[in-house]
Amino acid sequence: RPEGEGCRVRMGLPPGVGDAAAALAAVGRASQRAGLTVVELRAGRTPLEERFAEVTAAPARAERGGGAR
């Protein structure tokens, strides 16, 4: 891990804007031009985010008559 102050960036990609790989490549190029050290670029959600989406979607499905998984 590089020395210095760290920060975390989270980016959402709206539907129809493009693919995640192209967006991550653009972020990587912009970071390089700015002289920033990128520690990780990863597409998708973390397992915790996936589980949260799954759990919070269950009540919404039940309200619509879809029931739980």
Torsional sign, CA 29, 34, 37, 43: negative
Instruction: Report how far residue 37's alpha carbon sits from residue 1's, in angstroms, rounded to the nearest whole number.
Output: 9
Going from the C-alpha of 54 to that of each of 8, 17, 23, 57, the distances in angstroms are: 24, 24, 25, 5
pLDDT band per the 50, 70, 90 thresholds, residue 67: low
> Is residue 68's pLDDT more than 60?
no
Q: pLDDT tens digits for 25-53?
A: 999 999 999 998 888 888 777 888 888 88
* The pair of three-digit structure tokens given for residue 59, joined into one six-digit string: 């009540």
* DSSP-H helix ranges across 1-69: 20-33, 47-63
Amino acid in position 42: R
pTM > 0.75: yes or no: no
